[in-house]
């Protein structure tokens, strides 16, 4: 009779462990969702501010190029001044494009790092 009672307790304990593992898994999924939402919101705000900065920078850069062309036009004909400024602009754009491509290749996709780490720790704890 004592052996049967021990098996019953073992069954109850196994059921509790399974329920706890299920709860932990559900909580880890919720954590991953919350983490991704937070990253998406932060990314959206950063992208909006970055877009504003890019537009303003583009206007500023346009005026800078116009100034450079006007300054060169004092020394050479207008069309040559514009051609020189255009060539420099394409050169800088090409260099920036190569650098950007390299950085984008290095970038990792956004993943819920904290949730993955928690899941690994939970898996290790359950295995023990």
Q: What would the pLDDT profile of 12-67 be if each residue is shown by its tens digit?
A: 877 888 788 888 889 888 988 998 899 889 999 999 999 999 999 999 999 999 99
Domain hosting 77: range is 2-127
On whether the CB atoms of residues 31 and 118 are closer than 8 A, the answer is yes
Number of structural domains in the chain = 1
- 85 touches 64 (CB < 8 A): no
Residue 63: C-alpha distances to residues 69, 103, 124 (Å): 10, 29, 60
Measured between alpha carbons, how far is 102 from 73 in angstroms, rounded to an integer?
A: 37
Look up residue 76 and give its DSSP letter: S
Tokens read off for 16: 């509790």
pLDDT value for 84:
94
pLDDT tens digits, one per residue of 15-27 = 888 788 888 889 8
What CA–CA distances, in Å, run from 67 to 56, 63, 71, 85, 109?
A: 17, 6, 6, 10, 41
């Amino acid at each position: 009779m004592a052996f049967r009672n021990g098996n019953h307790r073992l069954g109850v304990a196994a059921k509790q462990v399974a329920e706890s593992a299920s709860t932990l898994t559900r909580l880890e999924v919720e954590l991953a969702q919350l983490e991704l939402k937070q990253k998406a919101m932060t990314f959206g705000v950063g992208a909006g501010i970055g877009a504003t900065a890019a537009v303003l920078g583009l206007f500023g850069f346009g005026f800078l190029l116009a100034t450079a062309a006007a300054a060169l036009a004092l020394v050479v004909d207008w069309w040559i001044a514009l051609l020189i400024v255009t060539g420099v602009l394409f050169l800088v754009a090409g260099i920036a494009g190569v650098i950007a491509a390299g950085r984008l290749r290095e970038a990792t996709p956004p993943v819920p790092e904290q949730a993955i780490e928690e899941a690994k720790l939970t898996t290790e704890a359950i295995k023990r």
